[in-house]
Chain A
Amino acid sequence: MNPPIPSEPYPSTAADEPTSSARAGAPAEGVRASAELDRELVRRMQAGDERALGTFYDRWFPVVNCLVTRILKTPAEVEDVVEETFWQVWRQAARFDADRGSVQTWLLTIARSRALDRLRATRRRREEPIEQGQLDDATNIAESFDARAPNDPLLDVEHAERRQIVRAALSELPAEQREALELGYFSGLSQSEIAQRTGQPLGTVKTRMRLAIQKLRDRLIVLREDAR
């Protein structure tokens, strides 16, 4: 149980195993507790409790900010859309139906929709070509523990684990499936626009997206509240 220090602590390696290939499991208890806390906060917002809005914002700002930044990039627009996202949550808390989905899904759907609305409006105004987004390469787990933004450290750990699992799942997708998914999710392109952009038949794009989502669904089942 108390082993000596290995004489060769780092054995020579033929090929370093990439972290991105990790398949990790999430602590379902933590996911459930976190989801219940989110529901409680939304219930309090429904009752007009401003503190609940503050707590909810503190919990979710890092994730929403990352998503909106990925879609919009311009800091002023990001700030505006992040604010409008949480404002919409506050104003529409009464319309949230826990039977139809999680708070996380509801919030991130709002954030993405607002960001894409802004992106499309900007495109129409400027007639600028869209930027080719690239999914970030799955990188070292260490990044997940990098507490750059001051936040609840325990929540940071939970989100870091979730981030790690999602990125690992994405890294397992074939590049063309990941690209189709990315152009749809982050760039807000329709399937026919993706087909036009990638030079692939529409049917091929549809198949790629369907396969990608099916695989993700299988891989991310550990993140569901009722996973275990």
Chain B
Amino acid sequence: MMHEMTHEEAFAAIDAAALDVLDGSERAAVFAHIEGCGTCRAELEAVRATVANLAFSTALAADTPVASRSRIRQRLMQRASSEERSSGETPLSMNVVTHPLGTVVQPVDTAAANGSRTVLPLRKRLGWRAAEWTALAAGILFAASLGVIGAMWQERGRLRATIDAASTSQRAAIAMRDSLRSRLSVQDSLLGGLTGRDVAVMTLTSAAARAPFARMFWDKAANTWTLVAHDLPPLKPGRAYQLWLVTRTGKISAGTFAERNGNAVMRATYALPADELRAIAVTEEPAAGSPQPTSAPLIAATATQ
């Protein structure tokens, strides 16, 4: 028999419930309580959101073959597509038409094209009764109806093709809108990092001729660092530029980046007390980055508050 938990007992076990580490009977008792308790349900959802973030603690899968990613995607899309086709197909509807000449059972979508029907043979008589004349009229009407249905079916096909084409265009437009919206959001964030009230700007220079230069925008309120660099020399294969935040106690990597036509924009998020920063510098390092700089800085600047 399941132990009935008090609210306090269940609430105390919600962390473990969200992590799904409760043992059988305790788990059942906790979820039985949560089922009827709004407070516990809300708490469970909140803790689940925290727990889900643990997925981000895993290292990037460096060796995931691109082929695997594409293969899974292809299979998924095929499955979704075939499912939609099978569920989207109009079921073969059957027309059951009863009339005095007999019963016709015919798939609607082949009715127009198919001339052979299971119809009882017309009884030949010298003198027809009124019912038989009625049946003949009904037969003629039925044949005419089949013609109309056939025409409607063709029109339906044309409309369906038009709708499919419109849906494809709409999906493309929606995808484009989503992509643009996403990019706009990042651009807004980038602009915020460049123009915020608490942004400090530092210029990184070099003594060499035709020297590269860069500006660092440090948004102290948002802890974001945006580096905009120009005239960077091309990198050799397997190499990357690495940005360093030099503090009183050490050199902190803020990430690696590559140049394109000598230009680069790089963003990092790092919380640093305003008075800790002494300098910033960029060095050339192996593509995976270095724990500490292994070469002289290409460009550097002292900190401005």
Interface residues, chain A, with chain B CB atoms under 8 Å away? 1-6, 9-11, 13-17, 19, 22-27, 29-30, 33-34, 37, 40-41, 44, 48-55, 57-58, 61-67, 69-70, 75, 79, 82-83, 86-87, 90, 100-102, 104-105, 108-109, 111-113, 116, 135-136, 139-146, 148-150, 152, 154-155, 157-159, 161-167, 170, 181, 184-186, 188-192, 194, 206, 209-210, 213-214, 216-217, 220, 223-224
Contacts and interface: CB of A to CB of B under 8 A. Distances in A.
A113 to B, nearest CB: 8
Given A3-B302, A50-B81, A191 B21 contact: yes
Contacts of A190: 21-23
B223 A25 contact: yes
Given A3-B304, A62-B60, A83-B75, A150 B66 contact: yes
A181 B51 CA distance: 10
Given A50-B77, A141-B253, A142-B288, A11 B60 contact: no
B252 interface: yes
A135 B271 contact: no
A66 B271 contact: no
A88 to B, nearest CB: 11
A83 B72 contact: yes
A155 B47 contact: no
Contacts of A3: 202-203, 301-302, 304
A85 to B, nearest CB: 10
Given A48-B84, A154-B182, A148 B251 contact: no
Interface of B: 12, 15-16, 18-23, 45-62, 64, 66, 68-69, 71-73, 75-77, 79-81, 84, 171-172, 174-175, 178, 181-183, 185-186, 188-189, 192, 201-203, 205-207, 222-224, 242, 244, 246-257, 266-271, 278-279, 281, 287-293, 296-297, 299-302, 304
B249 A57 contact: no
B302 to A, nearest CB: 4
Q: Which 10 pairs from chain A and chain B are nearest by CB? A: A142-B289, A33-B185, A16-B250, A184-B21, A67-B55, A17-B250, A108-B52, A66-B58, A145-B255, A166-B56
A90 B80 contact: yes
A105 B52 CA distance: 5
B18 A213 contact: yes
B183 to A, nearest CB: 6
B116 to A, nearest CB: 38
A49 B171 contact: yes
Contacts of B268: 141, 145
A141 to B, nearest CB: 5
18 contacts: A3-B302, A6-B278, A9-B279, A9-B281, A11-B246, A29-B188, A33-B181, A49-B174, A52-B174, A55-B178, A62-B60, A109-B52, A135-B57, A161-B269, A181-B54, A209-B21, A213-B15, A214-B15
B197 to A, nearest CB: 15
Contact of A109 (B48, B185, B256): B48
Contact of A30 (B12, B62, B80, B189): B189
Nearest to A192: B23
Most chain B CB atoms below 10 A, which of A27, A61, A142: A142
Contact of A5 (B22, B56, B205, B246): B205
Nearest to B42: A100
B89 to A, nearest CB: 13
A206 B16 contact: yes
A150 to B, nearest CB: 7
B270 A142 contact: no
Nearest to B87: A48
B172 to A, nearest CB: 8
Contact of B50 (A5, A58, A167, A216): A216
Contacts of A149: 60-61, 64, 66, 69
Given A149-B66, A209-B15, A220-B50, A136 B300 contact: no
Contacts of A41: 178
A199 B79 CA distance: 47
Nearest to B302: A3
Contact of B251 (A10, A53, A66): A10
A67 B55 CA distance: 5
